[in-house]
């Protein structure tokens, strides 16, 4: 771990859960802890569990737990029992604690040396656990590893594959700089040594949507990280996900503002501020694109929220020009719909 940034971590620990070490003389420690947080996603959970069970090396090697955040709209425990009976342990929060604290519970309950957080609506491809364990065995200093992922829709159809970070698998030495500009890692694609969570703490509670992004940047600042070029994880995009829900309120961009304020200090020599400025502009432009899609669905309130959050995240000439184009497009679209409505009324008369 780099010592020059430890001081800045002290203040941030007030916003992170303490992850206590596992005492090996008291507890059996498998190699893997596959921790599956769920909340109102039982309809996807069977695919998630099957993707893990098809690679299951047995309980001596792999702990598998589903940690449910007190779901009230479905019954994830019944899915677990139907898929695996007693092979998978099911833990239900006594009350809803929110996804970040549910992730904390996952980390605290994990007993394995390697922790894989696998959302209950995501999945892994065959070979994930075998291939992702190799770099840790070969490099004892390795803090984390991640692979390319496939994006899929709510029906499990593949949409596209994440772009390559580098041509071949190997260490990714400039990862923290890359993460200061753009999210590069989806949670189901990441594996982390438990002792890293013990050293750095849990996910940052100040963040509502980007807590995983901040975690990967924090890890990359202190530890070497391995990149697996083969796509081995599946990340699901659907209307009821946190990403979709926060985009509808503008909270996605508000949380990005909080994120960049935190991680700009993760890159030394003042370069973090410049890189974060680039990241803010990219995300703000993306917010205007989201606003355009929302306007296309006639969700005016959500589109307005995206525009306001985009301008709060980054306000420069490029954003102003793109906003002008968006407003012109919206005005043209409103005129077209108005003309169509008038024509329909004329026909009726």
Cβ contacts of 150 within 8 Å, gap of 6 or more: 125, 158, 159, 160, 161, 162, 231, 233, 234, 235
Q: How many CB atoms lie within 10 A of CB 271?
A: 12
Q: Which two tokens stand for residue 51?
A: 């993707």
Give the residue from 132, 267, 234, 124 showing the smallest Cα distance to 192.
Answer: 132
Distance (Å, whole) CA 162 – CA 204: 25
Q: How many CB atoms lie within 10 A of CB 261?
A: 12
Q: Note whether 53 and 83 are within 8 A (CB).
A: yes
Per-position pLDDT tens, the chain of length 349: 444 444 455 566 789 999 999 987 777 899 999 999 999 999 999 999 999 999 999 999 999 999 999 999 999 999 999 999 899 999 999 999 999 999 999 999 999 999 999 999 999 999 999 999 999 999 999 999 999 999 999 999 999 999 999 999 999 999 999 999 999 999 999 999 999 999 999 999 999 999 999 999 999 999 999 999 999 999 999 876 665 666 667 889 999 999 999 999 999 888 899 999 999 999 999 999 999 999 888 888 889 999 999 999 999 999 999 999 999 998 887 776 655 555 455 454 4
Q: What is the DSSP letter of 167?
A: S
What are the E-state strand segments in 59-171? 62-68, 89-92, 114-117, 123-124, 144-152, 158-161, 170-171
DSSP string covering 28-46, please? ---SEEEEEEESS-HHHHH
Q: Are strands 123-124 and 225-236 parallel, antiparallel or unpaired?
A: antiparallel
Q: Note whether 290 and 248 are within 8 A (CB).
A: no
First to last CA, the chain: 77
- Cα 321 versus chain centre, distance: 31
Q: What is the DSSP letter of 314?
A: -
Element (H, E) at 216: helix 211-222
Distance (Å, whole) CA 41 – CA 88: 17
List alpha helices for 264-316, DSSP H. Answer: 271-296, 300-313
Sign of CA dihedral 246, 250, 251, 255: positive
| pLDDT score at 270 | 81
| SS3 state of residue 11 | helix
Cβ contacts of 133 within 8 Å, gap of 6 or more: 31, 32, 114, 191
Give the residue from 10, 192, 167, 36 showing the smallest Cα distance to 113.
Answer: 192
Distance (Å, whole) CA 278 – CA 180: 9
Q: How many CB atoms lie within 10 A of CB 337?
A: 11
- Cα 307 versus chain centre, distance: 23
Q: What is the DSSP letter of 320?
A: H
Superfamily of 3-244 according to CATH: Spore Coat Polysaccharide Biosynthesis Protein SpsA; Chain A (3.90.550.10)
pTM for this prediction: 0.89
């Amino acid at each position: 771990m780099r010592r020059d940034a430890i001081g800045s971590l002290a203040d941030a620990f007030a916003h992170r859960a303490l992850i206590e070490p596992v005492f090996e003389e008291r507890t059996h420690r498998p190699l893997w802890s596959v921790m599956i947080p769920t909340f109102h996603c039982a309809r996807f959970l069977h695919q998630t569990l099957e993707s893990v069970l098809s690679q299951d090396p047995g309980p001596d090697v792999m702990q598998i737990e589903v940690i449910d955040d007190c779901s009230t709209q479905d019954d994830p425990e019944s899915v677990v029992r139907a898929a695996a009976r007693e092979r998978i342990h099911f833990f239900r929060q006594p009350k809803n604690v929110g996804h970040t604290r549910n992730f904390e519970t996952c980390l605290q309950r994990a007993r394995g040396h390697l922790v894989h957080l696998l959302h209950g609506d995501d999945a892994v491809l065959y070979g994930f656990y075998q291939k992702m364990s190799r770099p840790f065995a070969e490099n004892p200093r390795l803090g984390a590893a991640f692979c390319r992922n496939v994006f899929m829709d709510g029906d499990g159809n593949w949409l596209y594959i994440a772009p390559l970070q580098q041509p071949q698998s190997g260490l990714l030495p400039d990862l923290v700089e890359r993460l200061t500009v753009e999210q590069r890692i989806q949670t189901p694609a990441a594996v982390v040594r438990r002792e890293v969570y013990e050293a750095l703490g849990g996910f940052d509670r100040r963040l509502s949507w980007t807590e995983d992004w901040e975690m990967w940047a924090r890890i990359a600042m202190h530890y070497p990280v391995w990149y697996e070029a083969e796509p081995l994880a599946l990340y699901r995009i659907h209307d009821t996900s946190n990403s979709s829900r926060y985009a509808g309120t503008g909270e996605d961009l508000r949380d990005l503002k909080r994120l960049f304020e935190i991680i700009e200090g993760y890159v030394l020599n003042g370069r973090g501020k410049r890189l974060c400025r680039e990241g803010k502009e990219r995300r703000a432009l993306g917010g205007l694109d989201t606003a355009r899609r929302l306007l296309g669905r006639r969700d005016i309130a959500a589109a307005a929220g995206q525009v306001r959050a985009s301008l709060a995240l980054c306000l420069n000439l490029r954003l102003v020009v793109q906003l002008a184009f968006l407003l012109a497009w919206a005005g043209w679209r409103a005129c077209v719909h108005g003309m169509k409505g008038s024509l329909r009324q004329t026909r009726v008369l």
